[in-house]
Chain A
């Protein structure tokens, strides 16, 4: 289905993550496949409950019970991380891939200075002399635009934006090939958000790491990502080049999402958003998971589960794009 390219840093293949609950297993991530090429910026967007954070944790191998990977593979530079033991993972962690969490105030230790935490991170994954650690720390702070004098500061002494950048500095300390970020800007104000995004993009160009950026805010990631994956109810429903996706969203959910952002330029048009609510993952709807809310639903959608269909190098999980079914009934495009 998906061809692995030689320059692929990360390849997720049919990954499934279940939560073990009293009522039986709940599938939070359903057969997700995607790839990240070297140096590529992939955005993963979706609303609450779509599984994007779970997916991210699964990729970073940070899941803990009751969540577990039940099938599929996560290949980092060709090696399957799901099958790896903790020892091997530890070699990979932070040196080849690192993770930036959602809220710096939660992830940073409030009683340790930034310098001390950087030292901890370095110590955990490498042996460096004290002087080297100091140099590297200063270097990495400068890289994210923080004055190295803040090595001696505590997290609460820094502004929100600076804390997030400190987190990113920690993630970059070993110049990994892949940085996974879970909504690193959501705790920030609009202006700080933008500045941080610009910074991340600049760093990415400079150092050349690939980035996976998970967010619920599509418009935020739109200017910075190369490709975008849209998730709904545990599945990836559309994935493709960002510009193209925005110009012509193919999946009705993506289109619905686009229609949920009021614009600050152009005429004010009445918007509809998307009616209904995301499904309960313990009892997902039969067939396509989006069909109860879909304005372009067809009879087939409540019965079968769509695969990915190719549409000019983008992939859409929707029967509308199933070129094979020539006689498929089409409901005319309704403007709800």
Chain B
């Protein structure tokens, strides 16, 4: 019995997922096994906030973004946009409206723009589809305005260019401009800076921050880089093997990581300013591909604290600190004062 997560502070709720699950069928026509990409995700994104989803490859974070973007259909569970399930959206108009409010920015600056068209193509198409209030001239002007707001000036020059003439950072900004064209509420950013040069990343991250401040756009920022998550996000969700391991305000989770996986991630982040830490043990496994899993914690094979219960019972997210939850039997039983509350605060 899952009780809902509370609405986050700072405004009304934009998006909520309940027990969101996506399984992919593996193997040929006759196989029965399923890859559990995402299992039972409860997530809330509010207005005017940046939520970072952090995890390694195979954690399901990209699948999560694509589920919300309606690229995949969920196997079970639901996604609620301002309270109404998006599975109920049938008419093209309503779906288009949702897509306009919740667009996506992609990871690969070299693959996210069609190489045969000028960079204005996607932008103009977005405007055509979502801004029916504009005339042709109006669209052109809006396109230029959008390019300026993502820092590409002079905009007229950029509109005429082909993707191969732009750098990776510039292409990603075009991606953001395309997302902005629909006047979104929430932008799903799937590893928008991972394929960019280090010196260019900050510019794009700063762009995200400023868009959130100026235009009050929320972001779901998918990344494997915890440091960048800390730099831009308000809240952080740590995913492992398709499930949420830990979630809470960014500073609190980083300062008091409760889930052993979060602790492992933090210890592995190379931070030149941090003192050299004791190296992790030699035999490190990698995140599993979750195919037809048994019950129990999926991190147990790598966890230094695993107890018997971890192999039998799948841990649920439990509130361990204010607003800060983790799905770990050991962390939960470690709690002082026995503040074990199943599910979340009933507000």
Contacts and interface: CB of A to CB of B under 8 A. Distances in A.
Given A47-B198, A191-B265, A257-B198, A277 B230 contact: no
B282 A145 contact: yes
Nearest to B281: A195
Given A194-B280, A217-B198, 20 more contacts: A48-B168, A189-B287, A190-B265, A190-B268, A193-B270, A195-B268, A198-B279, A216-B198, A219-B270, A219-B272, A220-B270, A222-B270, A223-B272, A256-B199, A261-B272, A262-B202, A262-B230, A263-B274, A264-B254, A273-B199
B226 interface: yes
21 contacts: A47-B198, A145-B283, A189-B286, A191-B280, A195-B280, A195-B284, A198-B280, A218-B198, A219-B271, A259-B202, A260-B201, A261-B198, A261-B271, A262-B227, A263-B271, A264-B226, A264-B274, A265-B271, A268-B231, A275-B203, A278-B167
Contacts, number: 125
B230 A268 contact: yes
A6 interface: no
Interface in B185-219: 197-203, 205-206
Contacts of B273: 261, 263, 265-266
Interface of B: 56-57, 167-170, 197-203, 205-206, 224-228, 230-231, 254, 264-274, 276, 279-280, 282-287
Interface in A192-228: 192-195, 198-199, 216-220, 222-223
A240 interface: no
B17 to A, nearest CB: 25
A116 interface: no
Given A264-B226, A264-B227, A191 B200 contact: no
Interface string A291-320: 000000000000000000000000000000
A223 B226 contact: no
B227 A263 contact: yes
A83 interface: no
A273 B56 contact: no
B201 A195 contact: no
Q: Which 4 A-B pairs have the closest CB atoms?
A: A273-B202, A262-B231, A274-B199, A47-B197
A47 B198 CA distance: 7
Interface residues of A, number: 43
Contact of B284 (A191, A257, A261, A265): A191
Contacts of A275: 203
A266 B203 CA distance: 21
A262 B269 contact: no
Interface in A242-295: 246, 256-266, 268, 270-275, 277-278
Nearest to A265: B274
B139 to A, nearest CB: 28
B194 to A, nearest CB: 11
A219 B226 CA distance: 14
B266 A264 contact: yes
Contacts of A190: 56, 224-225, 265, 268-269
B272 A222 contact: yes
A227 to B, nearest CB: 15
Contact of B286 (A161, A218, A260): A161
Given A161-B286, A189-B57, A258-B272, A273 B280 contact: no
A115 interface: no
Given A220-B270, A256-B199, A264-B274, A160 B224 contact: no
Contacts of B57: 189
Contact of A260 (B199, B270, B283): B199
A191 B266 CA distance: 9
A223 B270 contact: yes
A71 interface: no
A48 B287 CA distance: 29
A159 interface: yes
A157 to B, nearest CB: 13
A270 B232 CA distance: 10
A272 B169 contact: no
A231 B202 CA distance: 20
A277 B167 contact: yes
Contacts of A266: 273
A220 B268 CA distance: 10
B30 to A, nearest CB: 22
